Amino acid sequence: MSREVLADLLEKLGSVGERRQKRGRLYPVAAASALVPLPWQGVRIFHDHRDDWHPGEAEYAEALELEWAASTRSPYRETARLVHTLARREAVA
C-alpha cells in the first residue's frame, strides 16, 4: 500500500479511539483502493492491562496462543484495546 493511500485512509478513519467505532467505514475505503477487506481482529485482549506481569517463556507462549484464538471471536475481540483491520490486493493474473 502506498504512503498516500495509507495517509488518506488514516485521515478518513480519524483517531485511534474513533477507528474502533468506524470499522464498517473501512470496507468502502478498501474497495475504492482496490483492496479486499479481511476479518478484523482484536489485539491485547487479556493481558494489556497487566503492568505487573512478567511471564516466563512457557507462560508467554500460552498467553499468546490464547490471545490469538480470541482475536477473531466475538465477544472477546470487542473487548480488545487495539484492533487490526487488514486488507489485501487481489492477485493479478
- The grid cell for 33 is 483502493
Beta bridge partners of 87: 37
> What CA–CA distance (Å, rounded) separates 69 from 42?
10
Q: Is the CB of residue 80 less than 8 Å from the CB of residue 16?
A: no
Instruction: pLDDT tens for the chain, 93 residues: list them.
Output: 566 766 666 666 555 455 555 666 777 777 888 888 888 888 888 877 778 889 999 999 999 999 999 999 988 888 888 888 888 888 776
CA 1 to chain centre: 16
Of 50, 5, 54, whose CA–CA distance to 29 is shortest? 5
Question: How many structural domains is the chain composed of?
Answer: 1
Domain range for residue 48?
A: 3-89
